[in-house]
């Protein structure tokens, strides 16, 4: 393995750094989503909306709720005319936490293959320089140099492929949570509007 790493040339070091950063971010994001369960939070949000429908003055326990219920709690804790803005602020703050590290993964998915191709191009240039200096007396040395240069491309593509799957998974979790937040926020507004309509009758 070490021989293969050395064969890739100096650009294997930034590729190694990319792989370490990618793995670190993936593990951190995985642990984040292990602690956050939007589906379980949606169940609690249903119970919260039911309680609000029965009593518009209901205030949830903000210490034991997930992101969806936290957004609803922000709406319930303010005046009705600023309810949507309060929920939007909390939702944006929560989604920002969910997106933490995603830009890094996106960058690595793009940069790693480019570094690999750059390493291969530099290796091929070096091989042709050897060919120009030594002639074609030993073409095996040139072929061997080109084969070694391709190591960086393989490494860059491998890092990109292994990063793109968790990146897409995390993105799907973020989009799912966003959809749930928007749905339950709309439900809360409708529920409170229903209370206002009844109080006016």
Q: Is 3 domain-assigned?
A: no
Q: Is 161 domain-assigned?
A: yes
Averaged pLDDT, 104-116: 95
Which residue carries 């944006």 as its tokens? 92
* pLDDT at 63 (0 to 100): 52
DSSP-derived secondary structure for 78-122: S-GGGHHHHHHHHHHHHHHHHTTTHHHHHHHHHHHHHHHHHHHHH
Distances (CA, A) of 158 to 2, 14, 112, 115, 167: 17, 14, 9, 12, 14
Query: What is the pTM for the complete model shown?
Result: 0.81
Domain hosting 21: range is 13-52+61-194
Alpha carbons 87 and 79: distance in angstroms, whole number: 12
Q: Is 128 domain-assigned?
A: yes
Q: Is 7 domain-assigned?
A: no
Q: Is 5 domain-assigned?
A: no
Q: Is 6 domain-assigned?
A: no
Give the total number of structural domains in the chain: 1
Q: Is 118 domain-assigned?
A: yes
Q: Is 81 domain-assigned?
A: yes
Q: Is the pLDDT of residue 196 over 60?
A: no
**HSE, side-chain direction, 13 A CA sphere, residue 113:** 10
């Amino acid at each position: 393995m070490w021989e293969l790493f050395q064969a890739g040339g100096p650009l294997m070091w930034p590729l190694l750094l990319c792989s370490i950063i990618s793995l670190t971010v993936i593990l951190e994001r995985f642990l984040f989503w292990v602690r956050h369960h939007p589906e379980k939070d949606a169940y609690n949000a249903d119970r919260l909306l039911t309680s609000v429908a029965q009593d518009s003055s209901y205030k949830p326990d903000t210490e034991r709720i997930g992101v969806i219920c936290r957004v609803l709690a922000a709406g319930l804790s303010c005046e009705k005319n600023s309810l949507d803005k309060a929920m939007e602020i909390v939702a944006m703050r929560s989604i920002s936490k969910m997106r933490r590290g995603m830009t890094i993964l996106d960058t690595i998915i793009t940069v790693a293959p480019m570094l690999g191709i750059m390493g291969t191009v530099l290796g091929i240039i070096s091989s042709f320089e050897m060919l120009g200096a030594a002639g074609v007396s030993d073409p095996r040395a040139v072929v061997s140099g080109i084969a070694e240069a391709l190591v960086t491309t393989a490494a860059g593509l491998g890092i990109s492929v292994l990063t793109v799957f968790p990146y897409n998974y995390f993105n799907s979790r973020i989009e799912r949570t966003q959809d749930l937040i928007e749905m339950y926020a709309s439900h809360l507004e409708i529920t409170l509007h229903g209370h206002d309509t009844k109080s006016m009758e």
